[in-house]
């Protein structure tokens, strides 16, 4: 196929250049490379189904799956019969990346069942496609930065092994920590009862949902105390506390001092 030939030519002549695209293909689409290719391949399936075959593995990649194919591995991939395959892909050189960011096996397929992580990975890989198409200054570096972000997110997912509903709850807390958030709202968003979510969250993180939310708010308050001229009352309201005494108690719980003493000590350290 012409597009595949382009990929091969780039890979052989420009080892460190990212090649990327967004395809939507019928079931007559496939690519076969008996001796593999010098670059790694990453794909993210937006919709439909594709397949990958190597001498050691055969997988089907479905919606919201991310697939990594190692360099120099004989392979064939394409659209599953009777399906369409809508996917984003990128060839990249992994030699400059930390070994812990790429898998040991020749082929790995990871199902992304967390809604926030799905959006983040999809957006990052689409940025790779757009930067490759535009090829403005530093486009290859920007592509590699986006790929690096995806690989870091996957590495963190492998290490944490949180239940996807706990991950989604953490993402929602981090995104909306300034707002009034109830456990009931969070539980509805991840299709659990409030009691089940609370138990699962505490089991996974060793902290309650409320403690986690308050810690996020206080951490933000500490940054604002150190780097702005706003007073503690203004900051308390800005980060989501509507009771100033509660804010002072929480600040002391997490930092062991009052907001005013914290601000004073940080300012003195800068002198």
CATH code of residue 188 = 1.10.10.60
Beta pairing class for 19-25 and 85-92: antiparallel
Bridge partners for 151 per DSSP: none
- Give yes or no: residues 119 and 92 share one domain: yes
Spatial CA neighbour of 242 closest among 223, 266, 214: 214
Q: What is the mean pLDDT of the chain?
A: 90
For residues 8 and 138, membership in a common domain is answered with yes
Residues 87, 115 within the same domain: yes
At 145, the pLDDT band (50, 70, 90 cuts) reads very high
Same-domain pairing of 171 and 155 = no
| CA 100/CA 210 separation, integer angstroms | 34
- Please name the residue ranges forming H helices in the chain: 2-13, 115-134, 139-160, 164-176, 183-189, 194-205, 209-227, 232-238, 244-255, 259-270
Tell me, what's the pLDDT at 163?
86
Domain count, the chain: 2
In the structure, how many helices (H) and strands (E) does the chain have?
10, 9
pTM greater than 0.75:
no
The residue segments making up the domain with residue 135 are: 2-160
Q: What is the pLDDT of residue 271?
A: 61
Q: Give the model confidence (pLDDT) of 82-110 as tens digits.
A: 999 999 999 999 988 877 888 888 999 99
Asked if residue 240 has pLDDT above 80, the reply is yes
């Amino acid at each position: 196929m012409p597009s595949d030939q382009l990929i091969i030519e780039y890979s052989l002549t420009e080892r460190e250049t990212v090649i990327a695209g967004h395809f939507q293909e019928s079931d007559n689409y496939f690519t076969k490379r008996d001796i593999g290719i010098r670059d790694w391949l990453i794909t993210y399936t937006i919709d439909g189904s594709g397949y990958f075959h190597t001498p050691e593995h055969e997988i089907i990649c479905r919606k919201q799956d991310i697939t990594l194919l190692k360099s120099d591995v004989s392979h064939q991939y394409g659209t599953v019969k009777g399906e369409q395959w809508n996917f984003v892909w990128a060839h990249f050189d992994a030699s400059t990346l930390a070994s812990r960011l790429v898998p040991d096996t020749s082929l790995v397929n990871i199902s992304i069942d967390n809604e926030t992580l799905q959006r983040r990975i999809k957006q990052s890989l689409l940025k790779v496609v757009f930067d490759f198409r535009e090829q403005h200054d530093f486009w290859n570096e920007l592509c590699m930065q986006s790929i690096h972000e995806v690989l870091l997110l996957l590495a963190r997912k492998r290490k944490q092994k949180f239940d996807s509903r706990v991950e989604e709850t953490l993402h929602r807390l981090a995104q909306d920590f300034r707002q009034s958030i109830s456990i009931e709202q969070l539980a509805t968003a991840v299709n659990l009862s409030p009691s089940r979510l609370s138990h699962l969250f505490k089991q996974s993180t060793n902290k309650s949902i409320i403690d986690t939310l308050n810690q996020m708010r206080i951490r933000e308050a500490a940054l604002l105390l150190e780097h702005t001229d706003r007073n503690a009352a203004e900051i308390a309201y800005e980060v989501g506390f509507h009771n100033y005494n509660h804010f002072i108690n929480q600040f002391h719980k997490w930092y062991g001092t009052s907001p005013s003493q914290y601000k004073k000590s940080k300012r003195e350290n800068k002198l």
